[in-house]
Amino acid sequence: MEDYGLSGKVALVAGGGSRDEGIGNGRAAAVLMARSGAKVAVMDQHLDAAQKTVEMIEGEGNTAAAFTCDATDERDCKALIDSVMQTYGRLDCLDNNIGIGSRNSVVDEPLDTYRKVMQVNVETMFLLSKFAIPAMISSGDGGSIVNISSISALRPRGLTTYTTSKGAVIALTQAMAIDHGPDSIRVNCVAPGPVYTPMVYTRGMSEEARAARGQASILGVEGTGWDIGQAVRFLLSDQARYITGQVIVVDGGVTLRSPERDSAG
C-alpha cells in the first residue's frame, strides 16, 4: 500500500463510473484512493457504472460502495452525503469529477445547452460541496476537495460554453479555499489536457486524430485517466497538506504551445 496518509479516510468520488471496462478520470481516482487505504464512495448517475468501479476496487482487496445521484438536484445531493455518512460514519475527501462538453460559439449555442453545461459542470460541484463540507467538519479532521477543470479554462481555443464553465470551476475552487481554510478544508483544482478516456473515444476518434492529440504534448505522449487520478490522489492526500486554492495542470506541456482548437481536450 502506498502511504499517502489516506488509510482509514473516506473519499467520495463523484462521477466515479466509466463506460464498460474503460478507465476515466473518476474511476482512476477511485481505484488509486482505495489502493492507498481510503474507503471509497463511488457515485455515478448510472449505478451500474459505479458498481463496476466498486468491483474493480474490491477485486484488489480494498473497500468501496456504489451510490447513484442526480447531482443537479439539491435534495439528491444532500441524500447522497447523508448516505455516505450513514455507511462510513465520516467524510474526508471529495473528488468533483462530473462534466459534459460543448463545442459551439456564443452565436451558435442554444441557450438551453449553455444552461445545461453550466449546471452540470459548475452547479453540481457547488451542490455536492455544499453538503460535503459540513460533513467533513463534523468528522473532526477537516478535509480536502478537488474540482476538475480543463486546460481550456487557461488557454481558450473556442468551445465557448465549455471554456466558460471550466473557468468558473477555477474561480469556485479558489473562493471555496478562502471560505473554508479556517475549517481546515483544502480545495484545489486539476486541469487536464488531452487525456484518452472513454468519454473521448466512445464519441469516435480516428487513429490519426489520436496520434495528433499525443503529439500536442511536448512529451509526445497522450495522457490517460490514471494521470489525472494520480494528481487527484496527491491533492486529496496528506502529502498536499500545505496546498490549497491551486490549479494543477496535467497536460504533458500542451499549454506551453500555441492553441489549436482540435489538438487538446
The pLDDT tens digits for 38-92 are 999 999 999 999 999 999 999 999 999 999 999 999 999 999 999 999 999 999 9
Write down the domain spans for the chain. Answer: 10-256
Q: What is the pLDDT of residue 43?
A: 98
pLDDT band at 138 (very low <50, low <70, confident <90, very high): very high
Q: What is the pLDDT of residue 1?
A: 64
Amino acid (one-letter) located at 41: A
Q: What is the pLDDT of residue 99?
A: 95
Q: What is the pLDDT of residue 151?
A: 96
- Of the ranges 90-99, 131-140, 144-153, 196-205, which one carries the lowest mean pLDDT score? 196-205
C-alpha to C-alpha distance for 80 and 49, rounded to whole angstroms: 16
Q: Which helix (H) or strand (E) holds 131?
A: helix 124-139
Chain mean pLDDT for the chain:
93
CA 188 to chain centre: 11
Is it true that domain 10-256 has CATH number 3.30.70.1380?
A: no
Report how far apart, in Å, the C-alpha atoms of 33 and of each of 13, 151, 236, 258 are: 9, 24, 9, 34
Read off the C-alpha cell for 7.
Answer: 488509510
Q: CB neighbours of 87 closer than 8 A, spacing ≥ 6?
A: 41, 65
C-alpha to C-alpha distance for 4 and 38, rounded to whole angstroms: 10
Q: For 213-239, how does the pLDDT look when each residue is reduced to its tens digit (9 = 90+)?
A: 777 889 988 899 999 999 999 999 999
Q: What is the pLDDT of residue 259?
A: 60
* Mean pLDDT of all residues in 89-100: 97
Q: CB neighbours of 229 closer than 8 A, spacing ≥ 6?
A: 25, 27, 28, 29, 30, 31, 32
Read off the C-alpha cell for 263.
Answer: 489538438
Radius of gyration, alpha carbons of the chain: 17
C-alpha to C-alpha distance for 161 and 135, rounded to whole angstroms: 32
Q: For 5-31, how does the pLDDT look when each residue is reduced to its tens digit (9 = 90+)?
A: 999 999 999 999 997 789 999 999 999
DSSP code string of 199-255: HHHTT---HHHHHHHHHHSTTS--EEHHHHHHHHHHHHSGGGTT--S-EEEESTTGG
- SS3 letters for 72-91? CCHHHHHHHHHHHHHHHCCC
Residue 108 has pLDDT above 90, yes or no: yes
As annotated, the active-site residues are 162
- What's the CA angle centered on 195, arms 151 and 99, to 5 degrees? 65
**pTM, to two decimals:** 0.93
- Of the ranges 32-36, 152-156, 261-265, which one carries the lowest mean pLDDT score? 261-265
User: Environment class of residue 45 by beta-carbon count within 10 Å: exposed (0-12), middle (13-18) or buried (19+)?
Assistant: middle
For residue 57, the SS3 value is helix
What is the per-residue burial (b if ≥16 Cβ within 10 Å, else e) of 87-103? ebebbbbbbbbbbebbe
C-alpha to C-alpha distance for 37 and 47, rounded to whole angstroms: 23
- The rounded percent of the chain whose pLDDT value lies above 90 is 83
- The rounded percent of the chain whose pLDDT value lies above 70 is 93
Q: What is the pLDDT of residue 104?
A: 94
Q: What is the pLDDT of residue 263?
A: 44
